[in-house]
Structure 1
């Protein structure tokens, strides 16, 4: 394991064997449930000739992995950090794989939280890639006292403990011949999938064949199809051309697993059709026509290849190419949607419109849902003011234009409310009016558009709401699009679409300081969900009814936590005026108690994984 408290990975089979869930720090555990995305309304009506790629997998091989910007508590108060690599086009992605050259790559909690918030499942990587690893991997089929595969059980338990969704099995070295059995490998995969449970996934990479040879097939063949049959998903190597694509399509169709076959594209080129980079669209179009799924390896090319220069424009251009062939997914779930437009980094941080620190910071787990549609000059992400976080959406359209921001699939209900926070001046002239609009899709297929004007009474942040009452709507109607219209000078701070909720706000207990462990802890109540919250994306086993916490020392913001604990620096005083405020899943602030901090010397270096011990 690493020597830092900020990351967890395993470097050997022995470390994998020795890992125990009770040693896991709550800081490294994802607290954000995987949002269940609605089915895109556009994909339901598409013909086979125009149907886009339904599932895009991205394999995040970025500069070796495990960077400070990905750390569990982020980085606060640093100097000029420059532009940070973030994944801002998750609405085009279905699966995110965290990849590094460790034996077991456990995704950092910030990546899990951000991906889950966007409805993207997250997989770790089990990697065997050299002769030493090959000898170690001879232990892979070891069994326990009850006949179970020890390492399949460990991998499943690791995913459940840290809150991610499964594994990429990347076997790029042969196993010792005396240890090899293709049938055993299939049984191992079967047991791993069963251990992950419903919603868990295993992806087999196209390297090792049933003959125990690393021979990249660049598609499905008889030499690797048994592993797809066991895993349910397959990541083809990048060297395919028309012949391999055609044979793979035929074999996947015969197996009934077209939705689980991801044809690989290396963003660096290295033998990929189209040469990688901005040429990935060539390969994606061929995959689209074949009716299979796609996998992008190392999309961080947009940062690495150009060494971060002009990164946002490069990233925008790259994902604009991808968007031509990949089906975008709706934001939120069937019950609602929330965004504060936060990008997971910034210079300064605002809480309820008040700037509480001017420090530079990065926390990838704090990234909110960002607009799906390209700006086309109609809006910009603005860091000069924000309502919650470090960013707002500055609107700059021409009068009369309707500008879409988000695709949705929210079930209409009589008590569905749109709440929005904004600041700026709105014109009283009807021809130059500015406001929010939403579109409803009715069971008949008819669409209706509805509008709500910004009514500006001051230049400070204002919060308004509107009941999405519509006499033509039924319980089978859907809110499918959200955007704005008109000109004016307006900054949007947040958008929330949800049912009226009269449930009491959570409460936070006083902070406890642990001297021996150099950490703070607290609890959240109620410690159990309502029946409605239990089945939604607004409840966490770790942090209950709160999404994250602001950790204060007096009036100084010390950091952000996505767990009910916060690790302090080694030399940092544990005592003092610590307070924790919570942020609900809908962006509301719950102020914690300002009581004297209890200090305990418990000698315990790890905290429980739930908030209400």
Structure 2
């Protein structure tokens, strides 16, 4: 994966030896103190050149300037575009960049521990998944990626990026939006007007807020149109270019009001960053004050700069409520870019344990969990171990928080949410990246990959385990899988039965409801039971009252068995497994879980598969999805010996495949596209050939 921050004013992830945003701005010596969301130092030109893929047919996430472009010429691999010139009708990459998964509704189960709360603080995250430019639209051939999976604790994701040398307005790519939407999390694009120290120019602020002859702000309407066409949920507006005056502030306020009105009519939202004030200067308040109050009132929420104090936050929450707004529409910024869970913070000022939460939490750059790892320890398993530590806490068990942990992980304060509310429901525990691609336990591509749009709805309580013996290790494993790139591995002595929570659900169950369980035992001998709860716990921190249904034993290799929910009616509120070792130690894999009725519907095949562009070994494909429920599509190449090689999967109706070449002396390549249903059943193929 390319390292973010390849051009001046870009937004890099922290790397060893590179100064962070805060240290850089202290060196700049701004009179107002360290600015909140300015980027770190630019990378060297050589690093910039190395961090971008070649141009051509490869599609990338979109980025623009508001109107006027910089002087000179862009660096290699960067395309300067004006948002004023954009339209959905002429966007050549729209089909490859438009998210298709609708924003799922979700519910809040009874919290897993006694300290997590519902209806109070929420969590926002500002994440830079890749550079502003050169960010592939549909994943890339590496497993080294920030594969965010702890969506259950998030209420808003900001697709952070933008730079003075590339573009200031960044649209989220489709895989991130599709994964977030599957878990009920809205995603915002970013409007970043950089500080002057990082190449910001006040003319770009004026471009953004310009009015037409009718007094409207045309770029407000254009931003709403972009979000609607691309399928994401609104905008984060960060105006940090200094030098403005009260007139410019008034124009910004008018722009923000119009943006919110137009966005709200389309189900979109707007978050303002505590930067520009009513006199046009950039003066980070660290709270809700009279100098930024009009901007907060014109937006749906506000990210409060990191300079907040306990008293300032408390006063800000009170002010919000006096304005008829929720105090939890204020995100108190917590900068984790440099130190992650080692960040020293006054958590009692935001999410106190002895009284109501003060505000919500805004996490700046939690992708530290990936970026801080040495290059030789960024395998998917290493990343998820760090990410679980960040979101769950040192105990690695949200049902048993470690009270001595100085890091107050989101799971300690915020109740998890779930979108598992309807059947059929299935998961193959796919995290959206992997070292290989598996289908029915067989490797169909040995290339590493990432594509968050293929991510499953994943267990939210990672990992709640109850046992009177030694706790086994539980986590996603990438050494083997039933389908996709990962499976769930339970590894330990199992001196006593171990109960593992998997999903909080609201699934209807009746006489015909069954659960398909695909599993494999790699070591030891273990009895497996499906754990099903039909009632919610009576109070936070109480485990589900499970009924245990035996899972038929399997032989060697992967096995899929069907467990009828005999006698289970009404609503299933939780699903898990209980493992009892007959002989240990045990290594047991769960490859897939599906809750369904009596049938396994198969989707209809897509139609109109065609190659829309070809350049050497780079091809673009497009098709029309068949009607009915389709989770995603997969594209395979049929090799001369008749075997199929997985090329990729996507929720979109277009795909780019790069670097293809003839196999042996074949005159043409054959490609097959299949629709994949919610139960991972696949359609008949649509076929197209390409002559070399």
Same fold (TM over 0.5): yes
CA distance in 2 between partners of 1:449 and 1:421 (Å): 20
Instruction: Report the counterpart of residue 382 of structure 1 in structure 2.
Output: 477
CA distance in 2 between partners of 1:87 and 1:195 (Å): 26
Can you list the C-alpha shifts for 1:39-59, whole angstroms capped at 9, x where unaligned? 23339x979x96685411010
1:86 is aligned, of 135, 142, 147, to 147
2:450 is aligned, of 359, 362, 374, to 362
Instruction: Report the counterpart of residue 314 of structure 1 in structure 2.
Output: 386
Instruction: Report the counterpart of residue 645 of structure 2 in structure 1.
Output: 556
Q: Does 1:346 align with 2:434?
A: yes
Equivalent pairs, count: 562
CA distance in 2 between partners of 1:23 and 1:175 (Å): 36
Instruction: Report the counterpart of residue 122 of structure 2 in structure 1.
Output: 55
Can you list the C-alpha shifts for 1:364-407, whole angstroms capped at 9, x where unaligned? 33233343334453423232321111211122352653433334
Q: Does 1:227 align with 2:227?
A: no
Instruction: Report the counterpart of residue 505 of structure 2 in structure 1.
Output: 409
Q: 1:444/1:492 Cα in 2 relative to 1: closer, same or farther (>3 Å)?
A: closer
Deviates more, 1:8-17 or 1:176-185: 176-185
CA distance in 2 between partners of 1:165 and 1:394 (Å): 35
Residue 565 of structure 1, CA deviation: 1.9
| RMSD between superposed Cα atoms in Å | 3.4
Q: 1:302/1:481 Cα in 2 relative to 1: closer, same or farther (>3 Å)?
A: same
CA distance in 2 between partners of 1:556 and 1:64 (Å): 30
Determine if contact 1:135/1:175 at 8 Å carries over to the other structure. Answer: no
Instruction: Report the counterpart of residue 327 of structure 1 in structure 2.
Output: 414
CA distance in 1 between partners of 2:480 and 2:119 (Å): 37
Superposition map of 1:151-170 within 5 A: 151-170=219-238
Residue 35 of structure 1, CA deviation: 1.8
CA distance in 2 between partners of 1:188 and 1:199 (Å): 16
RCO higher in structure (CA 8 A, sep ≥6): 1
Determine if contact 1:288/1:325 at 8 Å carries over to the other structure. Answer: no
Determine if contact 1:40/1:330 at 8 Å carries over to the other structure. Answer: yes
Residue 62 of structure 1, CA deviation: 5.5
SS at match of 2:412: coil
CA distance in 2 between partners of 1:567 and 1:209 (Å): 44
CA distance in 2 between partners of 1:242 and 1:52 (Å): 21
CA distance in 2 between partners of 1:362 and 1:408 (Å): 27
Q: 1:377/1:522 Cα in 2 relative to 1: closer, same or farther (>3 Å)?
A: same
1:547 is aligned, of 632, 636, 652, to 632
SS at match of 1:329: coil
Which runs of 5 or more structure 1 residues have no equivalent in the other structure?
270-275, 530-538, 540-544, 600-613
Can you list the C-alpha shifts for 1:179-210, whole angstroms capped at 9, x where unaligned? 52537614633444433535421111000111
Superposition map of 1:497-576 within 5 A: 497-498=595-596, 505-509=603-607, 511-515=609-613, 518-526=619-627, 529=628, 539=629, 545-554=630-639, 555-569=644-658, 576=669
Instruction: Report the counterpart of residue 367 of structure 2 in structure 1.
Output: 300
CA distance in 1 between partners of 2:657 and 2:523 (Å): 45
SS at match of 2:534: strand
Can you list the C-alpha shifts for 1:539-579, whole angstroms capped at 9, x where unaligned? 5xxxxx23232332443333333322222438867953111
Determine if contact 2:437/2:646 at 8 Å carries over to the other structure. Answer: no
Determine if contact 1:52/1:288 at 8 Å carries over to the other structure. Answer: no
CA distance in 2 between partners of 1:121 and 1:90 (Å): 10
Q: 1:292/1:176 Cα in 2 relative to 1: closer, same or farther (>3 Å)?
A: closer
Can you list the C-alpha shifts for 1:253-280, whole angstroms capped at 9, x where unaligned? 22332231111011146xxxxxx53244
SS at match of 1:412: strand
Deviates more, 1:556-565 or 1:578-587: 556-565
Instruction: Report the counterpart of residue 304 of structure 2 in structure 1.
Output: 236
Q: Does 1:265 align with 2:334?
A: yes
CA distance in 2 between partners of 1:502 and 1:571 (Å): 35
SS at match of 1:161: helix
Deviates more, 1:96-105 or 1:459-468: 459-468
Can you list the C-alpha shifts for 1:504-526, whole angstroms capped at 9, x where unaligned? 62222253223568422222222
SS at match of 1:286: helix
CA distance in 1 between partners of 2:434 and 2:310 (Å): 45
Determine if contact 2:318/2:327 at 8 Å carries over to the other structure. Answer: no
Deviates more, 1:549-558 or 1:157-166: 549-558
SS at match of 1:507: coil
Instruction: Report the counterpart of residue 272 of structure 1 in structure 2.
Output: none
Residue 437 of structure 1, CA deviation: 0.8
Q: Does 1:173 align with 2:259?
A: no
Residue 174 of structure 1, CA deviation: 4.4
CA distance in 1 between partners of 2:260 and 2:203 (Å): 21
- State the TM-score, normalized to the length of structure 1: 0.82
Instruction: Report the counterpart of residue 10 of structure 1 in structure 2.
Output: 64
Deviates more, 1:196-205 or 1:565-574: 565-574
Deviates more, 1:166-175 or 1:517-526: 517-526
Determine if contact 2:332/2:350 at 8 Å carries over to the other structure. Answer: yes
Can you list the C-alpha shifts for 1:118-145, whole angstroms capped at 9, x where unaligned? 2221111011124553212213333446
Determine if contact 2:66/2:208 at 8 Å carries over to the other structure. Answer: no
CA distance in 1 between partners of 2:523 and 2:138 (Å): 39
Residue 60 of structure 1, CA deviation: 0.7
Instruction: Report the counterpart of residue 30 of structure 2 in structure 1.
Output: none
Determine if contact 1:344/1:362 at 8 Å carries over to the other structure. Answer: yes
CA distance in 1 between partners of 2:190 and 2:690 (Å): 41
Q: Does 1:201 align with 2:269?
A: yes
Can you list the C-alpha shifts for 1:337-382, whole angstroms capped at 9, x where unaligned? 4321123222221112222122222223323334333445342323
CA distance in 2 between partners of 1:36 and 1:359 (Å): 35
CA distance in 2 between partners of 1:504 and 1:318 (Å): 39
Q: 1:593/1:261 Cα in 2 relative to 1: closer, same or farther (>3 Å)?
A: same
CA distance in 2 between partners of 1:208 and 1:162 (Å): 28
Instruction: Report the counterpart of residue 536 of structure 1 in structure 2.
Output: none
Instruction: Report the counterpart of residue 588 of structure 2 in structure 1.
Output: 490
SS at match of 2:226: helix
Determine if contact 2:445/2:647 at 8 Å carries over to the other structure. Answer: no
Superposition map of 1:422-461 within 5 A: 422-424=519-521, 433-441=527-535, 448-461=545-558
Q: 1:381/1:280 Cα in 2 relative to 1: closer, same or farther (>3 Å)?
A: same
Q: 1:371/1:525 Cα in 2 relative to 1: closer, same or farther (>3 Å)?
A: closer
Determine if contact 2:249/2:276 at 8 Å carries over to the other structure. Answer: no
Residue 17 of structure 1, CA deviation: 0.6
Can you list the C-alpha shifts for 1:484-513, whole angstroms capped at 9, x where unaligned? 332355321112234556766222225322
Which runs of 5 or more structure 2 residues have no equivalent in the other structure?
1-51, 69-81, 394-406, 464-470
